[in-house]
Structure 1
């Protein structure tokens, strides 16, 4: 029987396979059209980068046959193995050895070799052939050419654009035969805007005022109001904390406590004060080197002391000191330049024109910090920060650092930057090994981006001046792209940490250059840039998607509909606390330890220091915003980790977005969500209204819109069912969750029934989704 079943299974599989083959053969995909004019940057370079440059690119150690295809002067040279031949001959693919090899039928000659598991498609071959026929003209990588402000394009739907952004977006849509969506309804639009600018849902009063304001300026007035709210600084700070790898512990095995939170207070303060991006970054890069540096400027340099620091005995100090410098160098490359500079740590970059020598020239800017690999063993307050450091006194908080939320009289110490009195020599490290010095190097920058000018001092202040040189092609583009990602879900360059050869091409290159140029022209004004983005018609579109649009543009690259995606982990907590009325709106101060499953820290610790045991906080500390949750690097907050929050080990410019059953389990079982459900239910029961009105109010507070009659009907029926069936013991157990006091003189069964309804609303997909 088993053999019969097996052969029957094989027969069925063969039939299905045959049907698939015949179906495919009669329905072959159409061959892609080759553009009239071939662009090296947008048509050819991606092919070379994916299929050729690993063996024929910038990395001299891995280069085969002495052939380099990423530079024109090398590609047109006579071949090392055959001086009479050339890889490329302009206008003549039949004489171009590279073309002949990619079209060869001989597997011994075919490139890429079959052993590489890489293969060029016919479309890619056609592109290369036409490019060679058109002269095989090379272009400097688009991201390494300083942006020039393009003209704002003309469009057919002249009544749609609200500002210049929309002309660039609409032009692409019209080219593809698409039309933008209508503007989202006011309730959904306000929720989107409030989450994006404050990280919080709008309250009922804000919703009612916005709905009642029928003036043409209603939306812009609301934008301005949210930009003035102190919560703006907290919301904007979150992506910067990811980038700066901020955490509350040192990392590694002991993972001791650190007090870098005053730097976080400064970041929030800087965003709220609209410190322009050039000053914001310069203070963090080199505040200690500025003329007559203030304590605030010195505090800002905590940015480059947020990296992991070991406190373990038995380590080699120089090895770890080199790791700290490497971390800063890699952060500078990824976070501020948007390139994978770290790939040149051990050898020349395989894809981008960064040599290992240039990596260590950049490294030299960060190599002079007055620090050691290990300073002390884990212990008392003196280990909360590592030298160089600064102490923040009560007098400082009263007069200078007024934004620092210092809540007690204990010593408050922060790690900051500070250089040695003499220059520490920097060498190329062979294979990246700390004790294998090679050639000595001086501070410098990759020439492919922008050579380092002699007019700048050879220190971190000079590096920051280089970073904001108007000729620097990356700085403005990279930050504009990160902000676009914050509001639209993905960057104009999808790979926001990689603008190099292996990164994605920009979906709207002209728009990116226009925004970058405009940002620089207006003195790097962040709030102005934010307002430009959120007041655009592009941003204000409905997120509703039709079948036609989904088929034409499934990933919404052309932005013919509004963004729709789950909000960040911290903002999920904020939404729950805010809508229930539990939110503690205190800004800044030390991080807090909210509810967490027992035993997590204790099961992953060396057993030493303040963070060896999880001592949960109580009272108002339980209801702080998500960004203030204490991050222990070896055991990051589990609830936030499940929702893809960064563990802050390294610079992160883009969070992952995953969907797992664990996320639903968190929303159904997290004590913070259940407690908020109980507290909101109790508040509603104290109001002299019908059950339907209570449910409508809960829905508006949580989902931020008025529910439909059907939604109200379903939830009301659920409430009535729970009221009848819930047992007193179960109700009593349910309402006991959380430390917030239970409202006196309230029926426990009624409270539990409405609590379940509120919890259900919190578990709607729409609740934690920006639509």
Structure 2
């Protein structure tokens, strides 16, 4: 393609990608109604709310623009003037100021480096002329199921999701892709539900099954595998900021891993999401709470802890409660409440008082900011759940603990008397001002007087079907897990500064459907995965790139690199090295020598890095030991979370370091060596061995051109190693997995190089 052919395409993509909130260009007709939520609020939020929004302390001229009655009212400093006068731009100071030529009157002020576009000004003008109608923020209104849209092509939709997707796609002049090939669907489903590639046996069985419900059967089968819970747990470990150390200076080991075992177990037994949340927020407060329900509350205790001498106990105790509050608001409600720790939220209707009322729910635990002598580091902090061997044998059978020692887990507990909570001036632990009690923001959903004012009441408020956020946020998380981008792109921010949903009616329909079907997580995932939207091919056309380069409207299946943990899992599984043991303590795989020692001043077990041996080297990425002060390098290079705070989404970068890992990491090289050794044992012909390796890693047959290239590479490497036996010897000794002496030969070395090349194909670690 010539350069002058490429430039118009690139320009079109650039123009589209620069539009605010990822929304499509809206060519409004003369009589079309302007929407406050869609057209106006994003402009005001970005440019005006910092000085004329919810934060009373920063409000200028007494003008508040986020609430209609305030915007319509007479200005405090000029009673004869009004911020906005519906239907009359000549009497609306807002409009006069945004078109002013006088720098001292112009809004936003020139020194703010903010500037409205001509389109922004035209939208505000038209909105005022139409009556300046305000609307409640979409995310704070309980979701409702609207009637499913009708589509012209009634053959394409497989369920309701497709009707919503088609309706939006059709407006942009897009048509859906054809259905993906069978092998693509199987790999996609397996990676999405288990994080592992399908086994050769699964591939063979699925190819043979020509029944009409073959696809639905394989979805059900894969969803019932124990590895489903492991895949789902990766996301929840990010949200719950799980780690194996305390963080801060002088880092040391902690034993929160039984909580991870519980999360895997909960997903595998399909614990309804409302119970899943309730147990984690307040399992200890349920009537006759079991040890399993108490263990679930470790969710709240996964934050960092200091073990530094000389710290102020109350300062860090407050820090821990702040973390709990922010994790709850971001991970479960999808709201950035931490902005209100020091002052009223500048964009959302959440005051500092609201923040500390929420804080109060978590402020009644006997937890301490600092526990005694630094030299006596404990694997859990008060309050503690002790898990005995008897518990594991009878009640907590899902915990993978091989010896008879007790396990200590940090969990939640309530004080006998209520601790008073204060609004903290500027968020400082010792700057107490007004006392407040537990409550939730009215702007989201009022807290019923019938609910207890404690964490159990908070949990019941959270999973109330009238709560506008909880179901929406989780449905959006699952959509993001599958399609790489949520219906709301800003997964952790459903507030005023967050992105507008690309398909608001679909999000609401799914949220209500999810609740109506018992908060059933597997039901929700199956609904998405059996849609025609999900089953499309990932082929990209020129029209796709010009009209929807970010694939917001899903006229094709997205091509997504696997999450960091699943990159490791794919290598282990396809090579036959994977140890499929579920749960248990974290493990320490290969890591560059001296990394811990150079990066941190750990103590005790974490002073130096002691690599595990044997089967522990081949556990799934979920179980990799996470030291907060020096996170494992391979996951971080592939955009894994460092787990020092709640994370609801990860970036997907493409860097040279990732290529270097795939070419040089001891695990990838060892896996290539082990698979080569196995295949040379089972297949006499090199080409047959290459075909088998290709199928195991890429989950499809190679075409003739691919096979020719790989066979040619094999011959080149075989010739090289025949001339230089020492190089083959060195190459084949990488990794701890034992190798038979007879397999240390040029043939195995050449096949190893071919397999390593296959692992380095973009398709190998990409869901297509």
Task: State the TM-score, normalized to the length of structure 1.
Answer: 0.95
| Equivalent residue for 1:512, pick from 504, 507, 521 | 507
CA distance in 2, matches of 1:664, 1:409: 43
Judged with a 3 Å threshold, the aligned counterparts in structure 2 of structure 1 residues 740 and 31 are, in CA distance, closer, same or farther, namely closer
What is residue 719 of structure 1 aligned with on the other side? 714
Contact 2:389 2:405 in 1 (8 A): no
Q: Is 2:740 aligned against 1:743?
A: yes
Deviations 1:170-215 (A, max 9, x none): 0111111110000110111111110000110001110111111111
CA distance in 2, matches of 1:359, 1:501: 17
Contact 1:32 1:123 in 2 (8 A): no
CA distance in 2, matches of 1:377, 1:476: 44
CA distance in 1, matches of 2:661, 2:216: 36
SS of residue in 1 equivalent to 2:253: coil
Q: Is 2:115 aligned against 1:94?
A: no
Contact 1:283 1:301 in 2 (8 A): yes
What is residue 499 of structure 1 aligned with on the other side? 494
Q: Is 2:360 aligned against 1:360?
A: no
What is residue 16 of structure 2 aligned with on the other side? none
SS of residue in 1 equivalent to 2:435: strand
Q: Is 2:333 aligned against 1:341?
A: no
Deviations 1:13-35 (A, max 9, x none): xxxxxxxxxxxxxxxx9996335
CA distance in 2, matches of 1:487, 1:415: 32
What is residue 448 of structure 2 aligned with on the other side? 453
Deviation at residue 747 of structure 1 after TM alignment: 4.8
| Equivalent residue for 1:571, pick from 566, 589, 601 | 566
Deviation at residue 608 of structure 1 after TM alignment: 2.1
Judged with a 3 Å threshold, the aligned counterparts in structure 2 of structure 1 residues 280 and 607 are, in CA distance, closer, same or farther, namely closer
Q: Is 2:173 aligned against 1:180?
A: no
CA RMSD, aligned part only?
1.2
What is residue 34 of structure 1 aligned with on the other side? 28
Q: Is 2:429 aligned against 1:438?
A: no
Deviation at residue 371 of structure 1 after TM alignment: 0.9
Query: Which deviates the most, 176-185 or 682-691?
Result: 682-691
What is residue 115 of structure 2 aligned with on the other side? 119
Contact 2:358 2:438 in 1 (8 A): yes
What is residue 139 of structure 1 aligned with on the other side? 135
What is residue 535 of structure 2 aligned with on the other side? 540
Instruction: Show the 5 A alignment for 1:315-714.
Output: 315-379=311-375, 383-714=378-709
CA distance in 2, matches of 1:384, 1:129: 62
Contact 1:378 1:608 in 2 (8 A): no
CA distance in 1, matches of 2:750, 2:369: 58
What is residue 11 of structure 1 aligned with on the other side? none
CA distance in 2, matches of 1:746, 1:435: 68
SS of residue in 1 equivalent to 2:210: coil
CA distance in 2, matches of 1:203, 1:760: 20
SS of residue in 2 equivalent to 1:48: helix
SS of residue in 1 equivalent to 2:533: coil
What is residue 271 of structure 2 aligned with on the other side? 275
CA distance in 2, matches of 1:355, 1:657: 34
Query: Which deviates the most, 395-404 or 208-217?
Result: 208-217
CA distance in 1, matches of 2:394, 2:273: 25
Deviations 1:715-756 (A, max 9, x none): 000000110112111111101100101124225111111100
Aligned residues: 742
Deviations 1:406-457 (A, max 9, x none): 1112221111100111111000000000000000001000110011111100
What is residue 190 of structure 2 aligned with on the other side? 194
Contact 2:165 2:553 in 1 (8 A): yes
CA distance in 1, matches of 2:504, 2:730: 58
Deviation at residue 126 of structure 1 after TM alignment: 1.1
What is residue 22 of structure 1 aligned with on the other side? none
SS of residue in 1 equivalent to 2:523: helix
SS of residue in 1 equivalent to 2:596: coil
CA distance in 1, matches of 2:63, 2:296: 47
Judged with a 3 Å threshold, the aligned counterparts in structure 2 of structure 1 residues 566 and 607 are, in CA distance, closer, same or farther, namely closer
Deviations 1:683-704 (A, max 9, x none): 0000133111110110000011
What is residue 5 of structure 1 aligned with on the other side? none
SS of residue in 1 equivalent to 2:409: strand
Deviations 1:268-323 (A, max 9, x none): 00000000000001001000000000011011111101000111111001000000
CA distance in 1, matches of 2:191, 2:300: 29
Judged with a 3 Å threshold, the aligned counterparts in structure 2 of structure 1 residues 206 and 31 are, in CA distance, closer, same or farther, namely closer
CA distance in 1, matches of 2:573, 2:99: 63
Contact 1:378 1:609 in 2 (8 A): no
Contact 2:249 2:602 in 1 (8 A): no
Deviation at residue 548 of structure 1 after TM alignment: 1.3
Deviation at residue 378 of structure 1 after TM alignment: 4.2
Query: Which deviates the most, 285-294 or 87-96?
Result: 87-96
| Equivalent residue for 2:764, pick from 762, 767, 770 | 767
SS of residue in 2 equivalent to 1:641: helix
Unaligned ranges ≥5, structure 1: 1-28
Deviation at residue 107 of structure 1 after TM alignment: 1.8
What is residue 53 of structure 2 aligned with on the other side? 57
CA distance in 2, matches of 1:165, 1:607: 50
SS of residue in 2 equivalent to 1:271: helix
Contact 1:254 1:605 in 2 (8 A): yes
| Equivalent residue for 1:293, pick from 250, 268, 289 | 289
Deviation at residue 471 of structure 1 after TM alignment: 1.4
CA distance in 1, matches of 2:516, 2:33: 32
CA distance in 2, matches of 1:144, 1:688: 62
Unaligned ranges ≥5, structure 2: 1-18
Judged with a 3 Å threshold, the aligned counterparts in structure 2 of structure 1 residues 539 and 31 are, in CA distance, closer, same or farther, namely closer
